[in-house]
With several copies, the nearest count.
Chain A
Amino acid sequence: MSNISIKLTTDKLSLDECYNFVDDPTCGGIDIFVGTVRNHTKGKKVKKLDFSAYGPMAIKEMELIAEKALEKFDVLKIAIHHAEGMLQIGDIPVIIAVSAAHRVAAFEACQFAIDTLKETVPIWKKEHFSDGEVWVNAHP
């Protein structure tokens, strides 16, 4: 669909690419959420994060989220881009951009999309510390 952009990639994610995809002459507001790799978690220093994905299913689930966001909220276009592979502090694992005629819908759809992504999309991150590594959320 031309109003949905989904990407799972080992390349660096691009804020401008997401912005340009959702920008539209009929839109009045764009909300963009950018996940970033934090240098600490529960008081421990993180060195890097390794993201692995069940690729085909991750893309399907991201498409489902995008379709649901367009259905549920009065929004125009949505981009959901996620990175795979080894990320350093400050790198970007995920960008979600949503455009809407009115800003409240853009905010709501963007929050819905990131909340749902963190629940349903089969992507896993392993945190690397100086003294070992651990799968995040593996033991909820």
Chain B
Amino acid sequence: MQTQVLLFGIVADLVGESSINLELKMDGTVSDFKKKLTETYPQLQNYNTYVIALNESYALDDTIVKDNDVIAIIPPVSGG
């Protein structure tokens, strides 16, 4: 399945985009997604302090990524 991934902060800078499309297998987990992401963007290999949000909520590594889920990569936040 084709997914849209939103990038922010330093991750957007490292990738050079604020949004990317990634082909994922059906019923993969957040962990699988992270692996695919690093394969596709090797510049993220040494940057793994981000977490993943699905549909605007924080997701765990074993959460299943479903078709049409909005995926976002959240580097360490610094609001306030």
Contacts and interface: CB of A to CB of B under 8 A. Distances in A.
Interface of A: 35, 51-54, 56-58, 60, 82, 93-94, 114, 117-126, 135-140
Contacts of A138: 9-10, 49, 75-76, 78
A110 to B, nearest CB: 12
Interface in B31-80: 49, 53, 56-58, 72, 74-80
Interface of B: 6, 8-10, 13, 49, 53, 56-58, 72, 74-80
Contacts of A123: 77-80
B79 A121 contact: yes
A58 B79 contact: yes
B79 A135 contact: no
B80 A93 contact: yes
A122 B56 CA distance: 10
B72 A139 contact: no
Contact of B79 (A56, A93, A139): A93
Contacts of A60: 56-57
Nearest to A55: B56
Given A93-B79, A93-B80, A114-B80, A139 B53 contact: no
B75 A82 contact: no
